[in-house]
Amino acid sequence: MNEKMSKLAVNGGIPYKQDSFPKWPYGDEKEIALLTEVVQSGKWWRTTGRKVIEFEEKFATMQECEFCLGVTSGTHALEISMSALGISHGDEVIIPAFSYISTCSAVIYCNAVPVLVDVDPETFCMDPKAFEQAITPKTKAVIPVHMAGHSCNMDEICRIAKKHGIYVIEDAAHGHNGSYKGKKLGSFGDMAIFSFQNGKLMTCGEGGAIVTNNKNLYEQAYLIHGVGRPKDDKGYTHTVVGSTCRMNEFQGAVLLAQMDRVEEMMRRRIENAQYLDSLMNKVDGIKPQKPADYAVEGMTHYMYMFYYEDSKFGGHPRQEFVEALKAEGIPAFISFPVLSKTQFFMENNFMGKIPGYDYKKEKDLPNANKIGEKVVCIPQYTLLGAQKDMEDIAGAVLKIQEAFCQ
């Protein structure tokens, strides 16, 4: 092993980063005070408490929507939204080929068929043209995903959806407090979902929310999320088929505390991401997700994502780079795979369910496939650090490149 390789932390050398990034999840006296209040009140579920209701009101206001419903996860929020819209067997739902599995699995959970379309190679968001081309008479809805908080082109997506009579469900699992051209994410679609899972920008461990401006859809979602029981139910009235996906008061309490920090944290991430872009763009073989001009101001930066070109790193594969980066003290992970390359897809043979549509055809999804194969992600909490932390990220990347290329 040459000298530079042996100095890599992954080979026993001294890690590049000696101190640590801000810890995540973050919670302090605020969470503790509100949680204590709930414990002592004896009101642990939303039916008797006020915390979930208070949270829903505040969250709806933040996302500029009339209604918000707290639920148990972002995945459940997607499933409930689609059920509320009446999406089921025989329907097709258009989704980006590059997303977290839930965007796709929720469609299948509703017995509908997910139709994968390509994304933009720079913004990683759904390509409106690909969306329009995939529309058939069976298309019932589209789920644009605001990838890493980069808003999709909502003008185009909503225009096309309206023209064809298709519902829009925004997957804003990465988009808390984010916006598109000055208007908050979640306020464009018929419905939108958020996640409060452990790594997300606001968290209560696990949780989710649905927002909408449509009272009927809100009420339908409310019924579905509580085994069909109306709000004022005094007995066992069950008006529709549903499940139990209610957010509890502990989740509501933690989220109320988390909400107070969202705006300030987002500003810090935007500032740091821009600085990190300036450093990373100088590295040959690294190309960060590139925000469209319209998206810069309202981008939440859930994950710092970049292409890793192994040919500029001595041919060392992406996995090796990620291991080396982690050893240097920089948290990193490989991006999610293109949905059609997950084991779930391959083994369930969804291919062929739509005549003439073949998910396996590489040529249909060239951008999504490239992202799935080349992108590396750094978690959002690193962007809550100081300028020096950004310099450490870029410095560690350069240290690895020098060693890999020697």
Ligand X SMILES: *Cc1c(COP(=O)(O)O)cnc(C)c1O
Interface positions with ligand X (CB under 6 A):
73-75, 99-100, 102-103, 145, 171, 173-174, 195, 197, 208
Work out the number of other CB atoms within 10 angstroms of the CB of residue 206: 17
Q: How far is the CB of 245 from ligand X (least distance, A)?
A: 11
Identity of the residue, 223 or 303, whose beta carbon is nearer to ligand X in the bound complex: 303
Q: What 8-state DSSP symbol labels residue 248?
A: B
Rounded to the nearest 10 degrees, how much is the dihedral formed by the CA atoms of 181, 186, 191, 192? 130
Residues pairing with 195 in the sheet: 208
Residues pairing with 191 in the sheet: 169
Is the peptide bond preceding residue 317 cis, with omega within 30 degrees of 0?
no
Q: How far is the CB of 145 from ligand X (least distance, A)?
A: 5
Identity of the residue, 143 or 280, whose beta carbon is nearer to ligand X in the bound complex: 143
Identity of the residue, 213 or 380, whose beta carbon is nearer to ligand X in the bound complex: 380
Beta strands in 282-369 (DSSP E): 286-288, 304-308, 333-334
Identity of the residue, 145 or 400, whose beta carbon is nearer to ligand X in the bound complex: 145
Identity of the residue, 170 or 249, whose beta carbon is nearer to ligand X in the bound complex: 170
Tokens in use for 335? Answer: 């991006």
Identity of the residue, 125 or 325, whose beta carbon is nearer to ligand X in the bound complex: 125
Residue labelled with tokens 């001294």:
14
Q: How far is the CB of 93 from ligand X (least distance, A)?
A: 14
Q: HSE (CB half, 13 Å, CA atoms) of 139?
A: 24
Sequence-distant (≥ 6) Cβ neighbours of residue 55 within 8 angstroms: 70, 247, 252, 255, 256, 259
Tokens in use for 84? Answer: 């509320």
Q: How far is the CB of 208 from ligand X (least distance, A)?
A: 5
Identity of the residue, 99 or 382, whose beta carbon is nearer to ligand X in the bound complex: 99
Q: How far is the CB of 278 from ligand X (least distance, A)?
A: 27
Residues pairing with 210 in the sheet: 69, 193
Give the separation between CA 171 and CA 135, rounded to whole angstroms.
Answer: 19
Rounded to the nearest 10 degrees, how much is the dihedral formed by the CA atoms of 34, 36, 40, 41? 10
Q: How far is the CB of 302 from ligand X (least distance, A)?
A: 8
Identity of the residue, 74 or 288, whose beta carbon is nearer to ligand X in the bound complex: 74
Q: How far is the CB of 315 from ligand X (least distance, A)?
A: 31
Q: How far is the CB of 45 from ligand X (least distance, A)?
A: 20
Among the listed residues 267, 272, 277, 263, the one whose alpha carbon sits nearest the alpha carbon of residue 297: 267
**Element spanning 74, H or E:** helix 74-84
Identity of the residue, 77 or 327, whose beta carbon is nearer to ligand X in the bound complex: 77
Is the peptide bond preceding residue 25 cis, with omega within 30 degrees of 0?
yes
Q: How far is the CB of 194 from ligand X (least distance, A)?
A: 8
Q: How far is the CB of 265 from ligand X (least distance, A)?
A: 18
The SS3 of residue 163 is helix
Q: Measured in whole angstroms, how far is the alpha carbon of residue 401 from the centre of its chain? A: 30
Sequence-distant (≥ 6) Cβ neighbours of residue 387 within 8 angstroms: 272, 275
Identity of the residue, 13 or 25, whose beta carbon is nearer to ligand X in the bound complex: 25
Q: How far is the CB of 75 from ligand X (least distance, A)?
A: 3
Give the separation between CA 102 and CA 108, rounded to whole angstroms.
Answer: 10
Question: Whose CB is nearest to ligand X?
Answer: 74
Angstrom distances, CA of residue 226 to CA of 129, 221, 344, 368: 38, 9, 29, 37
Give the separation between CA 302 and CA 304, rounded to whole angstroms.
Answer: 7
Identity of the residue, 102 or 220, whose beta carbon is nearer to ligand X in the bound complex: 102
